[in-house]
Amino acid sequence: MRAVEFQEYGGPEVLKVVDRDVPEPGRGQVSIDVAYTGVNFADLKARAEGYRVDALPFRPGLEVSGRIRAVGADVEGLRPGQEVAALTDGGAYAEVVVTAAATVFPLPQGVSPRTGATLPTVLPTAHALVHEVGRLRAGETVLVQGAAGGIGTVAGQLAKAAGAGAVHGVVSDAAKARHALKYGYDEVFVGPDFAADVRRATGGRGVDLALDPVGGETFRRSMDALAVFGRLVSFGNASSAEPWQVGQPELYPWGRTVAGFSILALARTAPEALRALAGRAFRTVSEGSVELPVTAEFPLAEAGEAHRLLGSRKSTGKLLLRVG
């Protein structure tokens, strides 16, 4: 089978098509003939700086849609031929993937394989950020960094559907702002100097919930943008900045809470909690309250082009690799 791997860290050009044996599922696993693979920012960080890479060569990719090819021992409720979407522990840039049955989900009613490949990481993550971790209540105000990207596009819609009083986004250019305004955002600020915009938009109060995938200075400014009793959820470090230490002085005098979320950690440590979360999140798509637009699609062999586009900060919504 064909797969895409890298032997060394670097730019998109280090991604190479390779020929590999078709993997067989072990106990508790299934193999999937892949239709589409979703491209995530984490794939770029793996390629560029070794994020969550155990050894080289490494095959990136965290999510697929397709048909179950074979089922390993002790797997219940899944059968060969079934159309599914799945979260993988790496390795999704391939024609066949093997993954734990616990992170394989039958495609929701009315959801195509193309849309299915966009869901496994972004949708449960955005749901957790807004609901399970962010605990958004109706009427509260929200601030989302990276509002036009994969997570940002879904987080805006989920916050709006939850009855947020106002949903504010931050993006790096005006075209991205126009995209975000179609997906739940009331107002979108352009550029890193958003703190003053937030104060103005909230009458000086700040926001109740801020979601930060950027880290560094953006994380610190997001904290400053919180209202009293505000919550900040950190879920990435797109800026690759040195970790920023949160201390007592930033927290108790303001009644602030800082939380974190990682879907990969949840998949490894509490797969049943992830299954329940994914069930709730996928329902928002089958019910029609959330959509995730695919804005670009590349053949598997051109995975490097997908990385170039996502790394350029010009993409919106979700990028896919066409595999099957």
Q: Which residues bind ligand NAP (CB under 6 A)?
A: 40-42, 121-122, 125, 146, 148-152, 171-172, 176, 213-214, 235-236, 238-239, 261-263, 310, 313, 315
Copy the structure tokens of residue 49.
Answer: 């700086």
- Closest CB to ligand NAP among 31 and 222? 222
Is the CB of 245 or the CB of 312 nearer to ligand NAP? 312
Q: Does 57 sit behind a cis peptide bond, omega within 30 degrees of 0 on the bond before it?
A: yes
Place of tokens 């021992």: 73
Let me know: does 263 contact 257? Beta carbons within 8 Å: no
DSSP symbols for 174-206:
HHHHHHHHTTT-SEEEESS--HHHHHHHTTTS-
Closer residue to ligand NAP (CB): 158 or 263: 263
Q: Cβ distance 226 to 207 under 8 Å?
A: yes
Minimum CB–partner distance for residue 49 and ligand NAP (Å): 12
Least distance (Å) between residue 308 CB and ligand NAP: 12
Q: Which is nearer to ligand NAP, 42 or 225 (CB)?
A: 42
Residue 113 or 169: which CB sits closer to ligand NAP? Answer: 169
Pull the structure tokens for residue 30.
């299934």
Closer residue to ligand NAP (CB): 1 or 296: 296
193 Cβ contact list (under 8 Å, min separation 6):
none
Residue 275 identity: R
Nearest-angstrom CA–CA distance, 63 and 128:
17
In which residue are the tokens 């053949």 written?
A: 299
Please identify, using beta-carbon distances, which residue of 37 and 121 lies nearer to ligand NAP: 121
Residue number with CB closer to ligand NAP (69 or 160): 160
Angle at Cα 310 formed by Cα 3 and Cα 91, nearest 5°?
Answer: 25
Provide the token pair at 85. 């979407």
Minimum distance from CB of 9 to ligand NAP (Å)?
16
Residue of minimal CB distance from ligand NAP?
149
Asked if 31 and 70 count as a contact pair (C-beta separation under 8 A), the reply is yes
Nearer to ligand NAP, 141 or 145 (CB): 145
Taking the complex as a whole, the smallest distance from the CB of residue 77 to ligand NAP amounts, in Å, to: 25
Q: Find all residues with CB under 8 Å of 77, minimum gap 6, and list them.
A: 101
Gap between the Cα atoms of 155 and 162, Å rounded: 10
Cβ pair 188, 171 in contact under 8 A: yes
At residue 193, what are phi and psi to the nearest 5 degrees?
-95, 55
